[in-house]
Amino acid sequence: MALVKVENVRKRYALGAASVLALNGVSTEVEEGAFLAIAGPSGSGKSTLLNIIGCIDTADEGSVMIDGVDVSGQDPDALADLRARRIGFIFQTFNLLPVLSALENVEFPLLHLRELSRAERRERAMHYLEVVGLGDRAGNRPNQLSGGQRQRVAIARPLATRPRLVLADEPTANLDRATGREILDLMQGINRDTGTTFIFSTHDSQVMAIADRLLHMVDGRLAEASATQAAS
């Protein structure tokens, strides 16, 4: 069974008096363990699709299955629990809480997992900081970290919940090319070592080049693409 199954999804947004069709009959499946990139120009619908797969937004039409669960029409509490336990998010702006240390930022989503004790949360958060190479920066706040280090914290944070699926929205957009490559190598290693599924939305040719599958989105429609097509 596919980890993600999207069937004939449509999504419209109101833009003043007009209506914009962000997704126009999108269908795709993503197998567990994939390292998938969705490429395309700004406004093509990439982030909208990620938000719907991540249960942040809902489709107007069509169905979405995540890890065997039909999320269409689910109540907000059920979707929140699904997000907390099965889906992780990595954002281009890092989205770290400035008043918390690196360790506390990684530990924060674990507060939703009530079965974990405080000691278990702290141990798990520290483990994933070490996985991304920042064990020695656990006490630093975000303003004491470089951009690459902040993105490493932003990677450790979702991994700490041990999700089946990680959604990364332009994760290298605010990084220089060399740092972006380091971050991609880190995520590719995690994918290879743990089998965690990654789905990226991206403009970055480096992401397209290392993805094991590449989709191209234009005007709300999705198709398989070569790296050359996606970059053009």
Separation CA 72–CA 77 (nearest Å): 13
pLDDT tens digit sequence for 46-57: 999 999 999 999
According to the model, what pLDDT value does residue 14 have? 86
Q: Identify whether 131 is part of a domain.
A: no
Give the Cα-Cα-Cα angle 30, 34, 35 (nearest 5 degrees). Answer: 120
Q: Identify whether 137 is part of a domain.
A: no
| Mean pLDDT confidence for 177-193 | 93
Residue 37 and residue 216 in contact, taking contact as beta carbons nearer than 8 Å: no
CATH code of 91's domain: 3.40.50.300
| Mean pLDDT confidence for 101-123 | 95
Give the Cα-Cα-Cα angle 181, 37, 192 (nearest 5 degrees). Answer: 65
According to the model, what pLDDT value does residue 226 have? 53
pLDDT tens digit sequence for 90-107: 988 899 999 999 999 999
Residue 160 and residue 122 in contact, taking contact as beta carbons nearer than 8 Å: no
Banded pLDDT at 78 (limits 50, 70, 90): confident
Domain count, the chain: 1
According to the model, what pLDDT value does residue 1 have? 74
Supply 171's token pair: 């994760």
Tell me which residue range forms the domain holding 44. Answer: 4-97+162-231
Supply 87's token pair: 């889906």
According to the model, what pLDDT value does residue 231 have? 45
According to the model, what pLDDT value does residue 224 have? 77
According to the model, what pLDDT value does residue 227 have? 44
Q: Identify whether 127 is part of a domain.
A: no
Q: Identify whether 44 is part of a domain.
A: yes
According to the model, what pLDDT value does residue 24 have? 95
According to the model, what pLDDT value does residue 228 have? 43
pLDDT tens digit sequence for 197-224: 999 999 899 999 999 999 999 999 998 7
Percent of the chain with pLDDT over 70: 97
Q: Where is average pLDDT lowest: 64-73, 94-103, 125-134, 199-208?
A: 64-73
Q: Identify whether 75 is part of a domain.
A: yes
According to the model, what pLDDT value does residue 42 have? 86
Backbone angles phi, psi at 7, to 5 degrees: -130, 115
Q: What is the pTM of this model?
A: 0.90
Percent of the chain with pLDDT over 90: 76
Q: Is the dihedral of CA 66, 81, 89, 159 positive or negative?
A: negative
Separation CA 220–CA 222 (nearest Å): 7
According to the model, what pLDDT value does residue 225 have? 65
Q: Identify whether 103 is part of a domain.
A: no
Q: Identify whether 58 is part of a domain.
A: yes
Q: Identify whether 13 is part of a domain.
A: yes
